[in-house]
């Protein structure tokens, strides 16, 4: 019987990489649900199908291609520019300033970066609502990734190269376990951010899988508290 690997620590980390949606703000705000519904509307209009069929296509492509957009581009030749502008045109007002999170991020030693499958405009809006935008050096978005989303390996390679990040000295925070497999293989310390226990969260079963996966070093349902703990000397 093999012994489980010891989770990687944070002692050597000098670059902190965060996913955006459902990672830097609580899942129960369902901000991403607005995007989700606009994706469905766009697909229904583009393919001239019912919303039920659009929902099926949306989730199938999301699972198989990493984003529904990538599936629509690959399967139907969709131009992504109009799509991205439409689906991210949402109400960000449910987000409120989170000074505790900002302070916890600021205490982390080294660089802080965003790696998201969303757009820079959306990321900027989210971070400004949370009042954490000044804590981050830069945002690597879906356009910078040449429209190739996580969890594709080339997306992480582009990110690491663009920002000169040594994966062996970096940590990655994500809400989807599958998006941590490549970072872990590259040498990053990985953290899965899961929904708060008692909140109802609209997620599919496969999105909730992977908490016990070998490529997940740490799991937390309290990002702010977790960051405070790892940045405080024992």
Distance CA 112, CA 18 (A): 8
Angstrom distance (rounded) from CA 18 to CA 81? 24
CATH top-level class for 15-26+95-231?
alpha beta
Per-residue pLDDT tens over the stretch 61-74: 998 998 999 999 99
Q: What's the mean pLDDT when you consider all of the chain?
A: 91
Q: How far is CA 141 from CA 102, 218, 220, in A?
A: 21, 24, 24
Question: Which phi and psi (to 5°) does residue 209 adopt?
Answer: -80, 165
In the chain, where are the structural domains located? Answer: 15-26+95-231, 32-87
List the end-to-end C-alpha distance of the chain, in Å, as a whole number.
33
32-87 has the same fold as 15-26+95-231:
no
Contact 198, 231 (CB under 8 A): no
**Confidence class for position 207, pLDDT limits 50, 70, 90:** low
Tell me the pLDDT band of 234, cut-offs 50, 70 and 90: low
Decide: helix, strand or coil at residue 189: strand
Q: What is the pTM of this model?
A: 0.88
Phi, psi of 112 (to 5 degrees): -130, 130
User: By the 8 A CB rule, do 207 and 53 touch?
Assistant: no
CA distance linking residue 131 with residue 24, whole number of Å? 11
> Of 170, 174, 211, which is closest to residue 187 (Cα–Cα)?
170
pLDDT at 159: 98
Please name which of 30, 31, 18, 71 lies closest in space to residue 47, comparing C-alpha atoms: 71
Instruction: Quickly name the fold that domain 32-87 has.
Output: DNA polymerase; domain 1 (1.10.150)
Q: Which residues contact 126 (CB under 8 A, 6 or more apart)?
A: 20, 21, 24, 25, 31, 92, 95
């Amino acid at each position: 019987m093999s012994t489980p690997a010891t989770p990687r620590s944070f002692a050597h980390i000098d670059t902190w990489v965060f996913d955006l949606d459902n990672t830097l703000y609580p899942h129960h705000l369902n901000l991403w649900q607005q995007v989700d519904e606009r994706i469905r509307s766009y697909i229904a209009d583009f393919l001239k199908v019912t919303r039920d069929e659009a929902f099926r296509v949306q989730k199938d492509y999301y699972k198989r291609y990493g984003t529904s957009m990538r599936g629509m581009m690959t399967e139907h030749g969709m131009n992504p520019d109009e799509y991205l502008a439409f689906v991210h045109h949402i109400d960000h007002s449910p987000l409120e300033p989170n000074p505790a999170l900002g302070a916890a991020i600021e205490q982390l030693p080294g660089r802080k970066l965003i790696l998201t499958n969303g757009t820079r405009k959306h990321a900027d809006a989210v971070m400004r609502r949370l009042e954490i935008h000044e804590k981050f050096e830069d945002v690597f978005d879906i356009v910078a990734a040449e429209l190739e989303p996580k969890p594709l390996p080339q997306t992480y390679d582009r990110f690491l190269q663009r920002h000169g990040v040594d994966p062996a000295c970096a940590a990655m925070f994500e809400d989807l376990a599958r998006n941590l497999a490549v970072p872990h293989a590259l040498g990053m310390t990985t953290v899965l951010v899961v929904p708060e226990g008692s909140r109802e969260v609209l997620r599919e079963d496969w999105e909730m899988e992977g908490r016990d996966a070998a490529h997940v070093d740490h799991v937390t349902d309290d990002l702010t508290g977790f960051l405070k703990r790892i940045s405080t000397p024992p």
